[in-house]
Amino acid sequence: MGNDRRSKRTKLLLKNAFIELLSIKTLNEISVKELCELADINRGTFYLHYQDIYDLKQNLETELYEQLLNIANAAPQNIDEDTSYTFFLEMFRSVERQKPLLKAFLGPNGDISFLRQIQTLFKEQYLSILLHGKEAKNLTDLDYSYNFIASGFIGLVEAWIYEETPTPAEEMAKLTSKIVFDGLPSLVNFL
């Protein structure tokens, strides 16, 4: 039991040090030595958990991706404004818990390929829910529409995680659901 707790603590120290370094350096500029010094652990301990910096990054991305995947998979197939609120609330709460890591991944030293993975995950989920046994009239238009919505959602999340005084997750979920279901004109009465 103590070993597992130590392992979790070590991984958390490495994660926090990685986030701090990625916010000021590119991945290629981060060394294991520097990371271990910042985390206050020895290099041997690092190598018990990861092969190199890229392995650490991949593990962190996988962990975050799996959290988001679980939320996406739990979304109901018949989604409406009420159920979408619950879905978005869970999404924003997850983002809130992982805010420092997301800031690092979405920041100037982050990796755009991870963002694309997230967009693809939600595209598949969104289209599955939207089509739900129906056939699309025009797949090209549907694809463009999804990309427009996904980019807007990513932009919304980015703006939210960088706010100095963040809006509560509940308000963000309500706003997002309102935008998705009623469109931007509805916000004139909402705001």
CA dihedral defined by 29, 34, 35, 37, rounded to 10 degrees?
Answer: -170
**Residue 119: strand, helix, or coil:** helix
**pTM for the complete prediction?**
0.83
User: What confidence score (pLDDT) does residue 10 get?
Assistant: 96
User: What confidence score (pLDDT) does residue 178 get?
Assistant: 84
| Banded model confidence at residue 44, pLDDT cuts 50, 70, 90 | very high
Range list for CATH 1.10.10.60 in the chain: 1-50
> Higher confidence at residue 39 or residue 129?
39
> Higher confidence at residue 182 or residue 66?
66
User: What confidence score (pLDDT) does residue 182 get?
Assistant: 73
Residue 46 contacts residue 146 (beta carbons within 8 Å): no
d(CA 152, CA 158): 10
> Higher confidence at residue 54 or residue 129?
54
d(CA 55, CA 178): 39
Average pLDDT over residues 101-106: 91
**DSSP for 10-43, written as a single string:** HHHHHHHHHHHHHTTS-GGG--HHHHHHHHT--H
**What percentage of the chain has pLDDT greater than the value 90?**
47
Least confident of 82-86, 120-124, 125-129, 152-156: 125-129
| Banded model confidence at residue 151, pLDDT cuts 50, 70, 90 | confident
**Positions of E strands within 53-120:** none
Tokens of 132: 């739900």
d(CA 68, CA 157): 13
Q: Is domain 56-190 classified as CATH 1.10.357?
A: yes
pLDDT tens per residue, range 159-170:
999 998 889 999
Superfamily (CATH) of domain 1-50 = Homeodomain-like (1.10.10.60)
Average pLDDT over residues 16-35: 96
User: What confidence score (pLDDT) does residue 2 get?
Assistant: 60
CA–CA–CA angle 138, 140, 144 (5° rounding):
120
Q: What is the mean pLDDT of the chain?
A: 85
Average pLDDT over residues 33-51: 96
User: What confidence score (pLDDT) does residue 106 get?
Assistant: 87
